[in-house]
Amino acid sequence: MQAMVLEQTSPIENSPLQLRDLPRPELGPGEILVKVRCCAICRTDLHVIEGDLPEERRPVVPGHQVVGLVSELGEGAGRFAIGDRVGIAWLRETCGECRFCTAGRENLCQRTRFTGYQADGGYAEFAVVREDFAYAIPDEFSDTEAAPLLCAGIVGFRALRRSELPAGGRIALYGFGSSAHVVMQIAQHRGCVVYVVTRGEDHRRLAKQMGARWVGESAEELPVKVDSGILFAPAGELVPSALAALDRGGTLSLAGIHMSDIPQLDYHAALFYERNLHSVTANTRDDGRELLKEASQIPLRPHVTTYPLADANRALQDLKADRINGTGVLLVES
């Protein structure tokens, strides 16, 4: 099979992903083989490729927003049938036994494994996953519409939960990439008012088209205090101003897996009046199932830009340079 392989971390401008012929992955008990149709790209892929995250496996096939068809079942696998359309996401495996797993907080398990990082992912013609960590894809979505929901959607959904947005409340989104444009549609569907802070002119234009109440370049320019905020940009220097933009009792959630250092906080300006700061760590499978259910009811429509699999380096370069509105999706032909 063909796959885009990372052998050594490097800035994406150096095009470190190489197109290789690899053996088709072998199945273990309880696993399914997925013939990949497409795989969305993600800023976390950049963090893996450029070495922002600790190195776990080399070589590795990145990609963790995978949509494809079940083509083979491992021993004991029976949740899906051959030909079923499924999704593979970032969360790949947990122990299932620790105090976090048994309390519905499996995203905090200390033995988690992640797709496209500690195991090969979806920048390939075939991928393998345990069937209990695969998602059934609702019929309401095309392949390319479904792919961004498997990380941008799921993690954004958890970030929205962690932001404690009240019914009909006001929320500020900092950064308007793949995850934010999904979260915006969920918040609007729930009757909430969305404010967007982003540097990119194209991103601001898209946010306005999607119905943001206000769009600007700086948190200091927000016309009102907000009940909740989600920081999608991996920029710790934005945390103080995002906290200051919260109303009393408001909550800011930090959606990134990697973030630059947060500056020293002024307690009164940033945290007093019971303002809250919540980090977000991956997701649970319940988050994924609930996101897909709500997204299909809206129905949510991600904005996508497609690229051939062989152009993965170019797609990720465009992502890093903020040249993609919505989500980039790699099309895989096999």
pLDDT per residue as tens digits for the range 234-289: 899 999 999 999 999 999 999 988 889 999 999 998 999 999 999 999 999 999 99
The pTM score is: 0.93
Task: Look over the chain and give the mean of its residue pLDDT values, rounded to a whole number.
Answer: 96
Strand partners, 252: 229, 277
* Pair (126, 24) in one structural domain: yes
Residues 163, 272 share a domain:
yes
Confidence of residue 67 (pLDDT cuts 50, 70, 90): very high
Please report, for the domain that includes residue 213, its CATH number. 3.40.50.720
Residue 256 has what pLDDT? Answer: 84
Residue pair 174/312 in contact (Cβ under 8 Å)? The answer is no
The pLDDT value given to residue 85: 98
Using CA atoms, how far residue 228 sits from 108, 174, 197, in Å, is 23, 11, 13
Structure tokens at 226: 């907000």
Helices (H), the chain: 43-50, 143-146, 152-162, 178-189, 201-209, 239-244, 267-270, 285-297, 312-320
The enclosing domain of 127 has a CATH number of 3.90.180.10
Q: Are residues 82 and 18 in the same domain?
A: yes
Together in a domain, 203 and 290: no
Tell me, what's the pLDDT at 333?
Answer: 74
Residues contacting residue 321 through CB under 8 Å, at least 6 positions apart: none
- In this structure, the answer to whether residues 263 and 227 fall within a common structural domain is yes
Q: What percent of the chain has pLDDT over 70?
A: 100
Q: Which domain holds residue 235?
A: 154-279
127 lies in the same domain as 182 = no
- The pLDDT of 71-97, averaged and rounded, is 97
How many distinct structural domains can be found in the chain?
Answer: 2
Same domain flag for 102 and 163: no
* 254 shares a domain with 158: yes
**pLDDT of the residue at 108:** 97
Alpha helices in 25-68 (DSSP H): 43-50
Q: Between 325 and 307, whose confidence is greater?
A: 307
- CB neighbours (10 Å) of residue 174? 24
Is the pLDDT at 11 greater than 90? The verdict is: yes
Domain termination residue (choose one: 279, 307, 323): 279
- pLDDT at position 257: 84
Q: At 161, list the tokens.
A: 């939960």
Whether residues 71 and 186 fall in one domain: no
CA atoms within 13 A on the CB side of 74: 16
Q: Do residues 274 and 286 both lie within one domain?
A: no
Q: 243 and 286, same structural domain?
A: no
Which residue shows structure tokens 């999608």? 232
Average pLDDT over residues 135-152: 97
> Which of 258, 279, 300 finishes a domain?
279
Together in a domain, 187 and 128 = no
pLDDT tens for each residue of 23-50: 999 999 999 999 999 999 999 999 999 9
Element (H, E) at 226: strand 226-231
**Could you tell me if residue 79 is left (phi over 0), alpha (psi between -120 and 50 degrees) or otherwise beta?**
alpha
The predicted pLDDT at position 48 comes to 96
Residue 258 pLDDT: 85
pLDDT at 334: 55
Instruction: Give the pLDDT mean for 10-17.
Output: 98
* Domain termination site, one of 257, 279, 301: 279
